[in-house]
Amino acid sequence: MSWVIALVSHSTALLSLPIAGFFASALLLIQIPATFLLLSRLSKGPGRRPPIVPQAATPDQLGAVSVVVPTLNERDRLTPCLVGLSQQSYEVREIIVVDSRSTDGTPELVKDAQEKDPRFRLINDDPLPTDWVGRPWALHTGFLHSSPHSQWFLGMDADTQPRAGLVAGLIQKAEAEKFDLVSLSPQFILKYPGEWWLQPALLITLVYRFGPTGINSDSAERVMANGQCFLCRREVLAKLEGYTSAKGSFCDDVTLARYAAACGFKVGFLDGAKVVKVRMYEGAKETWKEWGRSLDLKDASSMSQVWSDLWLLLSVQGLPLPASLILFSCLGWGITSPSVMAAAGLNLFLLLIRFALLFAIAPSYDRSQGSAASWLFWLSPLADPLAVWRIFLSASHRPTSWRGRSYSV
């Protein structure tokens, strides 16, 4: 860090007053409207719906839900998901694991679970069509093989760890709010130092773009969703022709949710930190590579929306840290023009917002496992420029591989 500060100081020394003023004015030009947009989104936070909590099943929920879990070589992390699903009550009619011909022993793990709980059923999906991505294809296959007597379809990822009472609580909330489709943000399980530093910065890119979970979206194109725990009325999913609308999307959850909203169905995105946990990736490298590929959401967005989001992230998340170093160095060198002082104040304000948001998202992280590196969470704003850079990289090209599969560009 010392060499960064030295470099910034040296660069600042070379700035003349006109150059510094121009730099500050340019920052103000792009950051002021972005700041107002950010504040308008964050201001909705106090009105967000409370987190989902576990509930006991009620008699009218008997056999109401078909659960589908897509798998491809998930043996190392599937057990907590299977255990959590087996703890759900009679509201779960069946648990269909759609395996894409795993070679690591995943099917055997499911068969072992089936011996203890007959609700588990293992099927294989057909060979992947050229115009489909693997995950929506597996979920679509599961939907086609699910019972027509179920009222709800629940897609869950293999890396989730459901808590007992999750499904009953989710159904009760969906019916009370008259949601046709609702998904949950989980509580994240992190272990290694790089994860604790980088992952929260990537998560904040979603908060900046779409606001807190539990609020109403202004329009279909601003709807957010999470396929890790994704509940939809079966009759609605049938009208949407399953996952067909999201067949080629690497963010099929958001694509399908926005399509449903555009068709007039009520879509919700709620806080599920009290009912479901997730261990997504192993380490910062895998987090950067795998999660970063779909986090731009370009498959669910128009190009104008993608570029608007990139402008926002650059202005209010990517620039404040380096800009503050430069601007306060300018002030230290005696360059105190009004534009420099205004820009310095604005970027300091944005940094304060970012650090304050750490307290808002802290419940989204599981600290019960005693990770010694969890303190790095509080330094995650220092990773913001890197996180924004990852979104730019992701938005610039389509993935060629995903979860062990290769795709044509």
Are the CB atoms for 143 and 242 separated by under 8 Å? Answer: yes
DSSP at 278 = E
Structure-token pair, residue 108: 């055997």
Per-residue pLDDT of the chain (409 residues; tens, 9 = 90+): 554 455 455 554 444 667 888 899 999 999 999 999 999 999 998 889 999 999 999 999 999 999 999 999 999 999 999 999 999 999 999 999 999 999 999 999 999 999 999 999 999 999 999 999 999 999 999 999 999 999 999 999 999 999 999 999 999 999 999 999 999 999 999 999 999 999 999 999 999 999 999 888 878 999 999 999 999 999 999 999 999 999 999 999 999 999 999 999 999 999 999 999 999 999 999 999 888 878 999 999 999 999 999 999 999 999 999 999 999 988 888 888 899 999 999 999 999 999 999 999 999 999 987 778 999 999 999 999 999 999 999 998 877 666 667 766 5
Question: The whole model's pTM is what?
Answer: 0.91
What angle do helix axes 252-262 and 134-145 make, rounded to 10 degrees?
60
- State whether residue 136 is helix, strand or coil: helix
Identify the structural domains of the chain with CATH numbers, from first to last.
Answer: 2-45+303-398 (no CATH), 59-294 (3.90.550.10)
